[in-house]
Amino acid sequence: MDFSVLYIGSGQASWNGAVPLAKSGAKVAVIEESQYGGVCSNKGCNAKIILDKPLELINRVKDLQGRGIDGVPTVNWEDLMAHKHELIVPQDAHGKERLDNVGITTITGHAEFVDTHTVAVDGKTYTADKIVIATGLRPHVLDVPGHELFENSTDFLSLPHMPKHVTILGGGFVAIEFATIANAVGAQVDVITRSNRLLRQFPAQYVAEVQADLKARGVRFISDMNIKSAEKTAAGQIALTGDHEFQLTTDYVLDATGRVPNHDQLNLEAIGVEANQRGIVVNEYLQTSVENIYAAGDAIDKQVPKLTPTAAFESRYLTARFKGDNDGPIVYPAISEVVFTSPRIAQVGVHLDQALAEPDRYEVTEASYDGDWYRQVENEQGAKLSLIFDKNSKALVGAAEKSNNADNTINTIVPYIQMKMTKEQLNDLVYVFPSIEYTLQRRLPLV
Ligand SMILES: Cc1cc2nc3c(=O)[nH]c(=O)nc-3n(C[C@H](O)[C@H](O)[C@H](O)COP(=O)(O)OP(=O)(O)OC[C@H]3O[C@@H](n4cnc5c(N)ncnc54)[C@H](O)[C@@H]3O)c2cc1C
Ligand SMILES: NC(=O)c1ccc[n+]([C@@H]2O[C@H](COP(=O)([O-])OP(=O)(O)OC[C@H]3O[C@@H](n4cnc5c(N)ncnc54)[C@H](O)[C@@H]3O)[C@@H](O)[C@H]2O)c1
């Protein structure tokens, strides 16, 4: 065999495990057909958070108007985009170097299976004892006449000029995060959804509040609407039609109707790897229906969120398994999530909606930060934290927050929940004062 382990794809689900595996002496190869480092590094999380940063700052400045700050700056989209390019363009080369530097063989091109131990790239074949499929997802394309006029998340993250009127199809992460950005940069934003519920992963109450906030800032929501067609107008705009004779003319359409697995381009049927429209089917060891072939990251059909930290966790799990350090099944920890709206919503552990629906099992305490002197240093209004306790064990089992600092608060809570920390242990943590963490600690039932 040419290699001990061969990874298809170079994203978070690949390099987080491949690098330590190679360092331990294994003969490792990574095949990448596009940019090294995958979606998060090149056209996902990293690029998005750069575009979000000025919004976050501006929101904080707005909250302090007349309280020490006069005047609100505006976003210069072209300069911001240049800053984004400067940081993101080198990621591809860095991603390859990270692999080359530890002796991993990098192969650039599209991989397809020949048999269960052999993969072909541009007519050349490579063999390996074990193969890890880490091929991720690509944007879904809404199947309507004229869809070629739509752009996707990758296009938006390199948009040279912000159009006057941006229309977004979908109500998930990408749709709402990018609606927040386009609105803050000054575009008229319309969000068209086929149902009336946005961001299904997050607590209904907090999502409704974020939506109301976006509406107040001028974002229009058109719900229960199926788009039927798109056409270019004589003036160069895009004319959309939908249910009940709906018509809308706009400058730009972002198709944010989800992401689909790339496994349809791997010749899996020929070698018997089972897959469906949600991803590759794996067992509790991340093993596919073919014994020596594994899968990790967004590529797999799984219940846990398809996020960067889960992809990295799975990659590290596989490395521990391949090295013989862990022969048990994958056990997912408490997984935290955040949506980068302004304010943000973040959560970890038991879902707030589930906890509210099961009052016999869970106790939920909701606290508004409006009366909290430290959080009011920033004068943010309407920030809220829900803590979820198991009624039997009294343990903290979940939390959700809506605030500008929600990601930080929830990160602080992650170890409390994951380590099942007791009241005594929580009481023993000494945080910096004043700080968000100190403020949060005071909300927990300590001694
Ligand atoms: C706009 C956007 C914003 C996001 N923001 C966040 C965020 O803020 N936080 C967060 O946690 N997650 C975020 N995500 C999700 C995150 O990017 C993914 O969960 C993560 O990238 C998954 O990593 P992966 O390695 O499984 O797949 P990917 O990163 O998709 O990597 C798969 C790689 O495989 C390659 N490939 C596919 N098929 C082949 C083939 N046949 N041959 C060779 N190579 C192939 C692809 O080119 C790609 O580079 C975001 C996603 C998007 C699209
Ligand atoms: N902050 C973050 O962590 C973050 C940010 C962006 C993306 N992501 C990840 O990227 C992935 C993709 O995000 P996304 O927003 O593209 O997907 P998503 O699944 O979150 O949202 C897709 C949206 O499109 C709608 N939709 C699907 N098919 C449709 C159709 N035929 N017609 C109309 N609407 C349709 C869905 O109802 C949903 O509202 C997710 O796995 C997410 O975890 C994470």
pLDDT in the model for residue 395: 87
Residue range 3-139+260-322, CATH number: 3.50.50.60
Residues in the ligand 2 pocket, defined by CB under 6 Å: 142, 169-175, 177, 193-194, 256-259, 305-307, 337-340
Note the pLDDT tens digit of each residue in 162-208: 999 999 999 999 999 999 999 999 999 999 999 999 999 999 999 99
Ligand nearest to the CA of 137: 1
Question: Which atom in ligand 2 lies closest to the alpha carbon of residue 298?
Answer: 41
Percent of the chain at pLDDT exceeding 70: 99
Distance CA 279, CA 293 (A): 14
Query: Domain spanning 343-442: which CATH class is it, in words?
Result: alpha beta
| pLDDT tens digits, one per residue of 48-77 | 999 999 999 999 999 999 999 999 999 999
The three-class DSSP label of residue 140 is coil
Kindly list the domain boundaries of the chain, sorted by start residue: 3-139+260-322, 147-257, 343-442
The per-residue pLDDT of the chain, averaged, comes to: 96
Helix 173-184 and helix 45-63: axis angle, to 10°?
50
- What is the per-residue pLDDT for 150? 98
What is the rounded CA–CA span in Å between residue 170 and residue 259? 11
Enter the pTM of the model.
0.97
**Residue nearest atom 8 of ligand 2, based on CA coordinates:** 173
The domain 147-257: what is its CATH number? Answer: 3.50.50.60
Ligand 1 pocket residue status of 336, Cβ below 6 Å:
no
Q: Where are the beta strands (DSSP E) in 153-197?
A: 165-169, 188-192
Instruction: Record the tokens describing residue 179, joined without a space.
Output: 């609606």
ipTM: 0.98
pLDDT at 425: 84
Within this chain, domains 3-139+260-322 and 147-257 share the same CATH topology: yes
Cβ–ligand 1 distance for 337 under 6 Å, the answer: no
The residue whose C-alpha atom lies closest to atom 6 belonging to ligand 1 is 45
* The pLDDT of residue 107: 98
Counting atoms of ligand 1 from 1, which one is nearest the CA of 138?
30
| Non-local CB neighbours of 269 within 8 Å, separated by 6+ positions | none
pLDDT in tens, 399-443: 999 999 999 999 999 999 999 888 788 888 999 999 988 888 888
Pocket test for ligand 2, best of 259, 298, 304, 337 (most atoms within 8 A of CB): 259
Unique residue bearing structure tokens 């018997």: 272
Residue type, 272: G
Q: What is the pLDDT, as a whole number, of residue 205?
A: 97
Checking if the pLDDT of 159 tops 70, the result is yes
Helix residue ranges per DSSP H, 44-130: 45-63, 77-88, 91-100
**Model pLDDT for residues 73-89, shown as the tens digit of each residue:** 999 999 999 999 999 99
What pLDDT does 447 receive?
Answer: 44
Q: Is the CB of 158 under 6 A from ligand 1?
A: no
**Tokens linked to 345:** 């919503």
Least confident stretch, 144-158, 162-176, 373-387: 373-387
For the chain, report the end-to-end CA distance as a whole number of angstroms. Answer: 60
What digits encode the pLDDT tens for the residues 208-247? 999 999 999 999 999 999 999 999 999 999 999 999 999 9
- Token pair in block for residue 437: 């963490």
Q: Enter the DSSP assignment of 46.
A: H
Q: Which ligand 1 atom lies nearest to the CA of residue 178?
A: 1
pLDDT (0 to 100) of residue 446: 58
